[in-house]
Amino acid sequence: MNDVKKPKRFIAGAVCPRCSEMDKLVMYVDEQQRQVRECVSCGYQDVMTDGGPEELTTRVNQPRAGEKPLSHEDEVQVVNILDTNPGANRKDH
Ligand SMILES: [Zn+2]
């Protein structure tokens, strides 16, 4: 049996439906490319099977061409650029 370590990401602010602990849920993709939520506190598992995960990933990572970004996404992007690169991209020096 393979015991391959898969990347697991904690879901910030997520509450476990079983034990009600916050920030104990991790999310990862299993061998069948299903998105699995798992609680590291009580062992609760929830497999998402009905087409949700792919759409979620696509929307978050790659905004569709021609589709306007949500206003709050645009805002976050601008703030990040200003915060992380203070004057780094200036060409008018
Ligand atoms: Zn739990």
Question: Mean pLDDT for each consecutive 10-residue tract of the chain (93 residues)?
Answer: 76 96 95 92 90 51 64 54 58 71
- Centre of ligand 1 from the C-alpha of residue 61, in Å: 28
Query: Rounded to a whole number, what is the largest CA-CA distance in the chain?
Result: 60
In this prediction, residue 7 carries a pLDDT of 85
- Token pair belonging to 6: 């898969």
At residue 36, the pLDDT reads 94
Structural domain spans, the chain? 9-84
pLDDT at 92: 73
Q: 9-84 maps to which CATH number?
A: 2.20.25
From 23, 26, 24, 25, select the one nearest 6 (Cα to Cα).
Answer: 26
CB 39 within 8 A of CB 16: yes
d(CA 25, ligand 1 centre) in Å: 7
